Amino acid sequence: MAGEFKIAQQAIRDAMETAAAENSMSQDAMGRALLAELLQALSKQSSSAELKDMVDYQLENLSTDSFVITRGC
């Protein structure tokens, strides 16, 4: 796994743990805040259409518990 993903995962884990530990915060609101801030930062480098395509791609490719069966491998 690339270093960027490890850093991003740790940042999210830290933020969610902080939200869970603070009575005045919720993990749901923290998740929305993280997403909003990330989109704001990415909008400086990418158009809205590019961001939408990126988000759509990620949503379509979320991990699932089902197995993919391939033939002829």
Instruction: Confirm whether 15 is domain-assigned.
Output: yes
Query: What domain range includes position 55?
Result: 3-60
> How many Å apart are CA 12 and CA 68, to the nearest integer?
29
pTM of the complete model: 0.77
User: Count of domains in the chain?
Assistant: 1
Q: Is residue 7 a part of any domain in this protein?
A: yes
Residue 69 belongs to some domain of the structure: no
What rounded mean pLDDT belongs to the chain?
Answer: 90
**What is the spatial distance between Cα 17 and Cα 34, in angstroms, rounded to a whole number?**
13
The predicted pLDDT at position 31 comes to 97
Please tell me which residue, 47 or 2, carries the higher pLDDT value. Answer: 47
